[in-house]
Amino acid sequence: RPFHVEPTNIVSVNDDMQRVTDEASAMNKRIHYYSRLTSPADRALIAPDHVLPAPDEIYVYSPLGTAFKVDSCTDGYGKNSSIVTIFMIWNTMMGTSILSIPWGIKQAGFTSGIILILLMGVLTLYCCYRVVKSRQMIPLIDTSNWEFPDVCKYYFGSFGQWSSLLFSMVSLVGAMVVYWVLMSNFLFNTGKFIYNFVHDINVTDIVPGTNGSNKVICPSAATGHPPQNRSVMFSGNNTGFELFEEWWNKSRTVPFYLIAVLLPLLNLKSPSFFAKFNVLGTVSVVYLVFLVTIKAAHLGIHLEYNWFTENDFFVPEFRILFPQLTGVLTLAFFIHNCVITLLQNNRNQENNV
């Protein structure tokens, strides 16, 4: 809704001062009057169209005391194409849980793991379909601006609203912590590789790994003591390397360096940038699929069907630990709390469902 601010605080995108007319100020007072007739959650008494100001009199208000003039007025729909929306949804779901699915298949068994992936995919797809359709099933109420908590409040009251917010926050906070750890590790390894390359430092491991060979099973797997990859041999400036190790620490310094990288991005004003930037994450998924395909073609497919027993190198087809895979899949396929928000940015709203 429009806000009336002092003309001296108005900033135009084109650097020319724009004044709020008396008519716009009067319209703003009427908007406030309509909003005070009922609670914000009740949309039965929303302002009619003739009360709203003209598009050239709409401003986006900032809590800092400035207002930016809106150059063009949209009808509430987003500017992303359907293909961008699809990749945005896909990349939002492609989170850290995907990396845990191989471990989950090991816990559940190969055959039962494949079956559980298909069943959980169908179940979560149907639930997501019901979430998208839920707003359209509410009669006599304009739900075009509703989010997922608003829908839960309509069907389940305040308990449903706060429950949806709570579980959404738990999943998002958990995902942010995991992503911060992964990004810190990536930044640490990248910086360490660049430093070693620039200073011509040759780092070797205590136990030779299997990089560059065709072996899939670690040579020391039978002993039960996996090799500890630690950098112990290097050639170069010892003092400079120790100083670098002190200031480039994986847990004490690099996570804070990440703030300097991400903080400028968080201050960008364009939501479309984040939508399009999010699509770039699909490149990493395509790379992983391509890498696994090449490795599988090079190494070959090795299967041994052990229906209820396991050996050192193969898991059985069925295990009673399958609930661990269902928990991983629940988080991997979870997008229900933000699918409505993502679809609001779609230019072709008729393709949402």
Q: Residue 230's pLDDT is what? A: 45
pLDDT over 60 at 73, yes or no = no
Residue with tokens 């809704």: 1
What mean pLDDT is predicted for residues 198-224?
A: 52
pLDDT of residue 184 exceeding 80, the answer is yes
Judged against a pLDDT cut of 70, whether residue 291 lies above it is answered with yes
Q: Please state, rounded to an integer, the average pLDDT across all residues of the chain.
A: 74
**Looking at per-residue confidence, does 353 or 231 come out higher?**
353
State pLDDT tens for residues 82-96: 888 887 788 777 766
Pick the residue with more confidence: 99 or 7? Answer: 99
Higher pLDDT, 46 or 328: 328
pTM of the model: 0.55
